[in-house]
Amino acid sequence: MCTRVQVMHEPAFRDVIRHKSAQQVTYDCCNGWTRESPNADACLKPVCSTACYNGGICSAPDTCSCPTGFTGRYCEQDINECNDKKPCDQMCVNTMGSYYCKCREGFLLQDDQQSCKKIGDLLSQGSHDDDAFEARDMENEIESQEDVTARLQKIEKMLANEKVHTHDLEKTLQNTYKMEKQQFDINRLQTNLYNTETRTLKLEGMVNLLMKCRNGPNTHCP
């Protein structure tokens, strides 16, 4: 009987799974800033924790740029142009974000919406007098009693503050004078102390010399 090797082939299957890791770097915006869009890289859009009022624009973190007529951190305050600028010849009416001027009876508001002229003066000038200059009537210069009182109170307050500042300055000068006098006294005491120490050293030297001369005469003895 002959021995032989028989080769047999059988199909085999193997699943191959490959894992590939990837790294992605993400950036966070600093406090007070954000991206203009989710896909944007730069953080260029400021963030205001409170929305800007009256048409204000968030221009920096928690800071609003206000339109004309408004102020405040978030543009929440109306500017009273009538008190701050006094733009009208006669009467000024403050509105939200703006103002408008009015004239008293017998006067007419001009094209600039600020000046007032007597109606009689306008009739005498004629409709073709375009070069006539605008001047305030003496009546325009007369302020109401409330305005005069408010101005006087403001002046009195300024004078009171000036007195307080003057008093503080006098106290500061007095304290400075006292400090200079104390420093002068200290310098004088230091000088006297130095002179006393010098004389003491001289006396000690003379005493030591006398003691040596008593013990035995030498060339240094008087």
| 59-99: pLDDT as tens digits | 999 999 999 999 998 999 999 989 888 889 889 999 998 99
Report pLDDT for 137: 46
What are the b/e assignments for 88-112, b being 16+ CB within 10 Å? bbbebebeebebbbebeeebebeee
DSSP 45-109: EE--SSPPPTT-EEEETTEEEPPTTEESTTS-EE--HHHHT---SSEEEEETTEEEEE--TTEEE
Domain residue spans in the chain? 27-78, 80-142, 143-222
pLDDT at position 203: 84
Instruction: Return the SS3 of 134.
Output: coil
- Residue 66, classified by CB atoms within 10 Å of its CB into exposed (0-12), middle (13-18) or buried (19+), is buried
Quick one: average pLDDT of 42-62?
Answer: 91
- Is the CATH number of domain 27-78 3.40.1380.10? no
142 pLDDT higher than 90 = no
More confident residue, 113 or 127: 113
CATH 3.40.50.2000 is right for the domain spanning 80-142: no
Asked if 99 and 81 touch (Cβ cutoff 8 Å), the reply is: yes
| pTM exceeds 0.75 | no
